[in-house]
Structure 1
Amino acid sequence: MTRLLALLLAGTMLAGCNAGTRLAEIGRGPQLTEIENPTQSPNWRPVSMPMPAPREPIANANSLWRPGSRAFFRDQRAAQVGDILTVLVSIRDEAQLANSSTRSRDNSESLGLPAMLGLESSINRILPNSVSASNLVSGNSTSGSTGAGQIQRTETVTLRVAATVTQVLPNGNLVLGGRQEVRVNNELRDLGITGVIRPQDIQSDNTVRHDRLAEARIAYIGRGMISDVQQPRYGQQLLDIILPF
């Protein structure tokens, strides 16, 4: 009971905090967040990835080419912390699954003791007279189950978002992060993306496809009146979690 009351109290406090924010936005709609340095966020953590062993550079006399270099001429693609590049997000996910199963089982067991060194005649001294030694135990069971399920899902997301290089790993890979907010009337759309890319995957126009991102995290969420009415109340969500039936 104490734990249940604590959960209800926590849900009420959370709803109260959200209610305060919503009351402050009456007549104005959701407000855009300020531009911040992503590395100054309390939730930001530097990325640590497995790195290859370092190699000593080899100098060649009378040569403009440096061993290990990925390009002969320098270009304007993102390569350092603070550089900006565009991430092309094009997700088209379609899945269809159908499953059907049928199970049945029929069991029958019978146990008797017609003869056992003459001791079968002594059974009625222990058990009631209605018990027969030839049919001591008899049982049967029948069970069956039928199940069917089907899943069909189609998702399409096409976006372009500018991201900033926040870290250069020792092997040259780039850690990037970007966030974009778009407000239309009283509805706010928030797009966030983070990941790790190889410099050679950046195209000549300083863009990179989302499927080139390792450890990609792409979030596209909404805040506002429409998004608010599309989700259950906090109390209903809490009851859905704790109620066992």
Structure 2
Amino acid sequence: MTRPLLLLPLLLAACGNLSQVGKAPDFSPLEGSYQHHSLYSTPMPETADPDAPTDASSLWTGQTTSLLGDRRAAQRGDILTVVIEIDDKAEITNSTGRSRTGSRSMGIPQMFGIPQRIDESLPEGASMAEAVETDSGTSFKGDGSVSRKEKLTLRVAATVVEELPNGVLRIEGQQEVRVNYELRELIVTGYVRPADISRQNEITYDKIAGARVSYGGRGQITEMQQPPYGQQIADTVLPF
């Protein structure tokens, strides 16, 4: 009964994959996400009193719809553009060398005739004049190098999902693009200061605290690049 129970998770995983055979990967639903909740929970602006004086014809109104109004994201539910331009290159080379030699000798050739008396009871060739003699030597050499290059250029719209008490905004952006049977997914989360948002309502990734950028995908091509589940389990369980 043990073997069927061990094979049950593998069979369930295989059935889940078989249900997607011949189908394109589904998009992730927006309903229930932080972005959806933030957009729908943002209070609507109050309706102006028709009898109250209006300054709609003025260019100096503070509303975002005015000519000189600030259109930058500032509260929960607002949308801004995140610009990701990563072009990192790192090369590190280390070399370490160490060597040590040591030699020690100790003997008692004369000490009130005591060594001579001890020599009489020692095996042939042994003498207290050369009681102890040691030699040691160690050497170590290590070389290491790291070479890395990353380049990524992306733009994605993100939503302000939370406004912290100190004014910092937590943003989250998700973008999915499906081409044939492969779906590319981009996720960006982090914390930004309203002052770092440009007048074009954009912010670069290097100004996002705790930035988390995930760029990947799922589909037929991604599945072919991954080893089968059985091989992954065998690589994890087998000790050799």
On whether the aligned pair clears a TM of 0.5, the verdict is yes
Counterpart check, 1:210 vs 2:208 = no
Secondary structure of the equivalent of 2:187? strand
Pairwise CA distance, 1:145? 2.3
Supply the distance in 2 between the matched residues of 1:94 and 1:140 (Cα, whole angstroms): 48
1:81 to 76, 83, 98: 76
Question: RMSD of the alignment, in Å?
Answer: 3.0
Deviations 1:6-37 (A, max 9, x none): xxx6xx77765653432221111432211133
- How many correspondences in the alignment? 206
Question: Structure 1 regions of 5+ residues with no counterpart?
Answer: 1-8, 42-63, 65-72
Task: Check conservation: 1:25, 1:31, Cα contact below 8 A.
Answer: no
Q: Tell me whether 1:123 sits opposite 2:103 in the alignment.
A: no
**Deviation string for 1:75-109 (max 9, x for gaps)?**
22222211111111111110011112222222222
Are 1:201 and 2:201 matched, yes or no?
Answer: no
C-alpha change, 1:156 and 1:212, in structure 2 (3 Å) is same
Provide the residue aligned with 1:225 in structure 2. Answer: 220
Q: Tell me how far apart the structure 2 counterparts of residues 131 and 234 of structure 1 sit (CA, whole Å).
A: 68
In structure 1, the residue matched to 2:89 is: 94
Q: Distance in 2 between matches of 1:211 and 1:31?
A: 32
User: In structure 2, what is the equivalent of residue 189 of structure 1?
Assistant: 184
Q: For residues 174 and 139 of structure 1, do their structure 2 counterparts lie closer, same or farther at Cα, with a shift above 3 Å needed? A: same
Quick check: 1:105 aligned with 2:100? yes
TM-score by length of 2: 0.73
Does residue 34 in structure 1 map to residue 29 in structure 2? yes
What are the Cα deviations for residues 30-73 of structure 1, in whole angstroms up to 9, with x where unaligned? Answer: 322111333499xxxxxxxxxxxxxxxxxxxxxx9xxxxxxxx6
Q: Secondary structure at the match of 2:128?
A: coil
Instruction: Tell me, yes or no, if structure 1 residue 179 matches structure 2 residue 174.
Output: yes
- Report the Cα distance in structure 1 between the residues aligned to 2:113 and 2:237, rounded to whole angstroms: 62
Alpha-carbon distance between aligned partners in 2 of 1:189 and 1:40, rounded to the nearest angstrom: 19
Rate the CA distance shift 1:17–1:162 in 2: closer, same or farther, 3 A.
Answer: farther
TM-score of the superposition, structure 1-length normalised?
0.71
Could you say which structure has the larger radius of gyration?
2
Secondary structure at the residue paired with 1:80? coil
